Chains A and B, each alone.
Chain A
Amino acid sequence: NAGVMQNPRHLVRRRGQEARLRCSPMKGHSHVYWYRQLPEEGLKFMVYLQKENIIDESGMPKERFSAEFPKEGPSILRIQQVVRGDSAAYFCASSPGQHSNQPQHFGDGTRLSIL
């Protein structure tokens, strides 16, 4: 029973390029969450998606960042025109539902480095 899969594990981009981070949730999970962890800081919630819908994007920067979770395929976190401050570890989590008593299962993250 595969866990949450994120790829790539490491991604290097130059300033101004685009970064695409992928997340395949656990089998049977239709709820996906993205978190960002800046160096030496805690995880911060970015966005919560259910299949084809964004439910809560209150933690997402207003510009350059977008997320989707299509009917088929993985969830994608897209960062356009990356800047040095986007360097961080990005974690995806999934759960079968949104109830507060359901745990979230995390992937091992994508470490994004901006040159």
Chain B
Amino acid sequence: DAKTTQPNSMESNEEEPVHLPCNHSTISGTDYIHWYRQLPSQGPEYVIHGLTSNVNNRMASLAIAEDRKSSTLILHRATLRDAAVYYCILRDVDTPLVFGKGTRLSVIA
């Protein structure tokens, strides 16, 4: 049972920023927030993760609310290759990844 809530789908225009929201109101103090994405016919791909502070890497940025009850994955310039299902996952110590339904992102050229 996923502990996160995400919109079923979102659309973005190519080369525009995309903000993918995730609610996790029951997050515990030891839960890390992980984001993965799954392109068609491929395995999930790690995107980014964080605990309390905002995080940046070459793929995306992760903005975490001050109360940690929500977070936003930011793709700075969407490309057609970013069309995928994006999963927001809370992970505690010694627990497996629990995938929900995720957000299906469509990118329009």
Contacts and interface: CB of A to CB of B under 8 A. Distances in A.
A59 B96 CA distance: 10
Contacts of A59: 96
B43 A100 contact: no
Residues of B in contact with A, size category:
20 to 34
B100 to A, nearest CB: 6
A100 B99 contact: no
Contacts of B99: 35, 42-44
A45 B98 contact: yes
- The SS class assigned to the B binding surface is loop
A48 B91 CA distance: 15
A100 B27 CA distance: 14
Contact of A103 (B42, B46, B87, B102): B46
Interface residues of A, number: 24
Interface string B70-100: 0000000000000000010001111111111
Interface of B: 30-32, 34, 38, 41-46, 49, 51, 87, 91-102
Interface of A: 4, 6, 33, 35, 42-45, 48, 56, 59, 91, 93, 98-101, 103-109
